[in-house]
Structure 1
Amino acid sequence: MSFIESPSMNSLEVADAGDRDYVASLARGLEVISAFTKSRPKMTLSDIARSTGMSRATVRRLLLTLVREGYAEKDDKLFYLKPKVLKLGYSAVSSMSMLDVIQPVMNELAEKLQESVFAAVLAGEDVFYVARATSERLINVGITVGKRAPAFAVSTGRILLAAEPEALREKYLDSVKLEKLTPNTVMSKVKLRALIEEARLSNYCIVDQELEVGLGAISVPIRNGDGKVIAALNVCCPSSRSSVQDMQRQILPEMMAAAQKITAGL
């Protein structure tokens, strides 16, 4: 489930032009918002037109509307989002009933493992953390609700991308710009594609110090009653405390059980 999910061009193309309930301009406006990522916080009108596949004229009207409403700002030729856009995300998070089910299970998991536990959803090319549970340890991982991270470099991102339709995964891989965040960050799209496929087949993903040196993470999918992946359950822990093998042997079984418990409660 994408949190601020960019409507694909395919969905815009197949929308029934006679459907009075479908507002194409709103869908395109959301796609423009989703075009901005951590690696591309500021873009020109032409950049956004290329990223979304829309005409420059359409993008210009949408951007100027966002500027006028206080969701974006213009600096010479560059456009960027303003903090007001976060209200859209927080409003959605607060209304997500699944959090009522997820949070207690996450709290139990954090207490059992004595590690930080998170839940995340897709937000364009990033993941967006929607819930957090901390342990009694003095030092917990400093990820807060509302924080974003590049999907390519985190286990939550790979789990969530693995659940997307193949066409959307390929669109993501075509457009994403990989950034070397640590010496361990995967910089090959061929390898990234293989790791996403591995996550899809194994139903879990481990990332070792790709986002931050000294930090390992493991994620599993959270599914609803219909089997659809709606979020990723994530445990982050210092590499000095848990190796990749430790995460597989000790943490993964507990996470799988927690994910099943969440599914049963949804």
Structure 2
Amino acid sequence: MGAQEGPTLITSVQRAFRLLEAVGAHEGGAPAKQLARETGLALATTYHLLRTLAHDGYVRKLEDGSYVLGEKLGVLHDASGTQALLSRVRPMLGSLRDHLSAAAYLTFYEDGEIRVAEIVDGPQAPRAELWVGFEDAGHATALGKCVLRELDDEARQEYLSRHSLADLTPRTITHRGELLRRLDAFPDDRAVTDLEEYSLGTVCVAVPVYRGDTLGSLGVSLRADRSSTIQVASARLLAAANRVTRGLSLTI
């Protein structure tokens, strides 16, 4: 029984891909019978696969009974595009890590949240312990504060209305007014720091980057006993930010 399941599963996957290709060839949609003829699949098999694909969002059935590609494929396409962009800038993050002996991070502000897209670390450059998700710690991380500082007032207030300023360490800023004051204190200084505000024993510095119109931040984390090197790290980050932005903004 087990020996027969593998080939059967592979065959089903191959049939599903053939069916998706056939659906994708018809911008206005195609009925199941036509798709069965074009793929050489039995009609019953075609109906079964279409129902499964529609249930999972890979195809969508129109009112006239035709099938078109579903939204799930669009999500996968967008994700593959993001992965391709990240592959372009990953060597730049690796260079930051190697030059500064510090883990390098890249975040994006998407759908109203600050999300980590990439971390490049190593034995000599361990990442900070992410004991609280970055989505809930934008006020306490250099990466998050960097994004918040670049937002306009409306977007910043909207973000803060949905996120409490949790007390993560004795150094965390927990009052909105104080946070806003500090974000606006040095408008000409593009680098933003986190001095043990997210995690005791760790300091971070970050600068803004962009993926097209999408705001993000590029940063590194250091042990607190290396805080004297923050200025050096800031200069290196600022030099890298333009290259990262160019890499992220190139058309796939």
So what's the TM-score if we normalise by structure 1? 0.57
More displaced, 125-134 or 185-194? 125-134
Asked whether the equivalents of residues 163 and 200 of structure 1 are also in contact (C-alpha less than 8 Å), the reply is: no
Q: How does 1:189-208 map to 2 (within 5 A)?
A: 189-198=176-185, 200-208=187-195
Q: Is it true that 1:95 corresponds to 2:78 in the alignment?
A: no
For the aligned residue pairs, the C-alpha RMSD in angstroms reads 3.1
1: distance between equivalents of 2:172 and 2:75?
28
Output one character per residue of 1:110-163: Cα deviation in whole Å (capped at 9) or x when no partner.
Answer: 11111100101235675211111114417443459x964521111111111122
User: What secondary structure is seen at the aligned counterpart in 2 of 1:153?
Assistant: coil
Residue matched to 1:212: 199
Q: Cα–Cα, structure 1 residues 139 and 232, in superposed 2: closer, same or farther, change >3 Å?
A: closer
Which of 226, 233, 237 is residue 251 of structure 1 equivalent to?
Answer: 233
More displaced, 164-173 or 110-119? 164-173
2: distance between equivalents of 1:148 and 1:218?
18
Asked whether the equivalents of residues 116 and 237 of structure 1 are also in contact (C-alpha less than 8 Å), the reply is: yes
Residue matched to 2:101: 114
The AA in structure 2 aligned to 1:95 is G
The AA in structure 2 aligned to 1:246 is T
Residue matched to 2:218: 233
2: distance between equivalents of 1:142 and 1:129?
13
1:188 Cα deviation from its structure 2 partner = 1.4
2: distance between equivalents of 1:238 and 1:89?
38
**Structure ranking higher in helix proportion:** 2
Q: Cα–Cα, structure 1 residues 91 and 216, in superposed 2: closer, same or farther, change >3 Å?
A: farther
Asked whether the equivalents of residues 103 and 119 of structure 2 are also in contact (C-alpha less than 8 Å), the reply is: yes
Which of 124, 129, 136 is residue 116 of structure 2 equivalent to?
Answer: 129
Asked whether the equivalents of residues 160 and 229 of structure 1 are also in contact (C-alpha less than 8 Å), the reply is: no
1:256 Cα deviation from its structure 2 partner = 0.8
Residue ranges of structure 1 left out of the alignment (5+ in a row):
1-68, 70-87
The AA in structure 2 aligned to 1:169 is R
1: distance between equivalents of 2:77 and 2:166?
30
Identity of matched residues, %: 18
Residue ranges of structure 2 left out of the alignment (5+ in a row):
1-55, 57-73
2: distance between equivalents of 1:263 and 1:217?
20
Pick the structure with greater CA Rg.
2
Q: Cα–Cα, structure 1 residues 90 and 109, in superposed 2: closer, same or farther, change >3 Å?
A: farther
Asked whether the equivalents of residues 137 and 166 of structure 2 are also in contact (C-alpha less than 8 Å), the reply is: no
Q: Is it true that 1:187 corresponds to 2:197 in the alignment?
A: no
Asked whether the equivalents of residues 115 and 236 of structure 1 are also in contact (C-alpha less than 8 Å), the reply is: yes
Output one character per residue of 1:66-102: Cα deviation in whole Å (capped at 9) or x when no partner.
Answer: xxx9xxxxxxxxxxxxxxxxxx999855431431332
